[in-house]
Amino acid sequence: MRLSLFWTNMHQQFGAAYAESLAKDYVIEQLGSRTVEQALADGVSAKEVWRAVCDAFDLPASAR
């Protein structure tokens, strides 16, 4: 998954403003207790981060 598709998915699921806030502030245990921004900066793939977001927020299968 490309980073641009990751952000498109985030914006579609959460809205632009909330997606940015979530990525900056929400700690996801599945990402090693890091935020989305921290995980991406640490080199975690966008696909892995997206899966963690889907799990953390119980997004429907159609979003995955």
Q: Where are the domains of the chain?
A: 3-63
Residues 6+ apart with CB under 8 A from 48: 39
Q: Which amino acid is at 21?
A: S
**Tens digits of per-residue pLDDT, 49-58?**
999 999 999 9
**Tens digits of per-residue pLDDT, 16-46?**
999 999 999 999 999 999 999 999 999 999 9
Q: Measured between alpha carbons, how far is 27 from 20 in angstroms, rounded to an integer?
A: 13
Distances (CA, A) of 53 to 10, 25, 45, 59: 9, 13, 12, 8
